[in-house]
Homo-oligomer: A and B are copies of this chain.
Amino acid sequence: MGDPAAPASRPPAVCLVSGGMDSAVVLAEAREQGFAPHALSFRYGQRHAVELEAAARVAEALGAVEHRTVTVDLSALGGSALTDAMEVPKDRSRDVIGEGVPVTYVPARNAVFLAVALGWAEVLGSTDLFVGVNAVDYSGYPDCRPAFLRAFETLATLATAAGAEEGAAFRVHAPLMELSKAGIVLRGRELEVDFGLTHTCYDPVPGPDGRVLACGRCDACHLRLDGFREAGFEDPVPYA
């Protein structure tokens, strides 16, 4: 009571938590910046259940007020290796990964996820959304660019009762935007994020002891491993 660090006195924020390393650092940032983070994950099409388990672990470990998972069945629309049965590309060079729109791009995914987050923010009386988009992603994904996030803030303010009637201005926080993967690793370590709880791989395989192993060869694994290597730390998750 009256303690400025107590959760009840902190403004609520909605944080998109995928189970990956980026959104884990974002959740820790939201807490560090004084918000009471509410973690939001998505079940979409054939998305790996292992990611949602990681999201639940991350939300719990990093002190989210609550964690909700919303089903958005984007697989009904087709168009991506993550929701279709298309093959996930392996062992592509970093130059290729950074070129054009990746095959793993899900059409308008961030627009959909942010719109759902906005709906929850309205229910919570929150005007702050946190997302884990960053510079490495935004070389390939159109919906990870700063201009997209600013356009979403404008839309959010116009879309909602809070914005329309009370003049609330929504803000989309993207604290990783300017960081490299190595920079995200370093910031996560400062914030005491346990990266061993996170899951990144697009194509995980079951390990001999029942643990899930990352493939180490998809684009996501390569970006993650490069990040840890450049940061000078070992990635704590197990690889095949």
Residues in B with CB closer than 8 Å to A77 are 68, 70, 116, 119-120, 123
Are B108 and A122 in touch, CB under 8 angstroms? yes
Beyond A107-B160, A155-B148, A155-B152, whether A119 also contacts B165 by CB under 8 A is: no
Q: Mark A125-168, 1 if CB is under 8 A from B, else 0.
A: 00000000000000000110101100110111011110111000
A21 CB–B CB distance under 8 Å: no
Q: How far is the CA of A156 from the CA of B72 in the complex (A)?
A: 19
A110-B69 Cα distance, complex, nearest whole Å = 20
Size bracket, chain A contacts: 35 or more
Give the copy number. Answer: 2
- Given A115-B115, A158-B151, the answer on whether A107 and B79 have CB atoms closer than 8 Å is no
Q: Which of A3-11, A98-106, A177-185 contacts B (4 or more CB under 8 A)?
A: A98-106
Chain B's closest residue to A163 (CB) is B142
A80 → chain B, closest Cβ, in Å?
9
Chain B residues contacting A73 (CB-CB under 8 Å) are 70-72
Given contacts A70-B77, A72-B73, A142-B158, contact A108 B101 (CB under 8 A): no
A85 within 8 A of B: no
Contact A159 to B110, CB < 8 A, known contacts A68-B76, A123-B77: yes
Q: Does residue A205 face the partner (Cβ distance < 8 Å to B)? A: no
Candidates B68, B122, B159; contact of A148 at CB < 8 Å: B159
CA distance A111 to B77 in the complex (A): 17
A143 touching B159 by the CB < 8 A rule?
Answer: yes
Closest to A164 in B: B142
Query: Which partner residue on chain B sits nearest A106 by CB separation?
Result: B119
| Bound Cα distance A118, B110 (Å) | 11
Q: Taking the complex as formed, is A112 at the interface, i.e. its CB lies under 8 A from any CB of chain B?
A: yes
B107 and A165 form a contact (CB under 8 A): no
A5 to chain B, nearest CB (A): 27
Q: Determine how close the nearest CB of chain B comes to the CB of A107; give it in whole angstroms.
A: 4
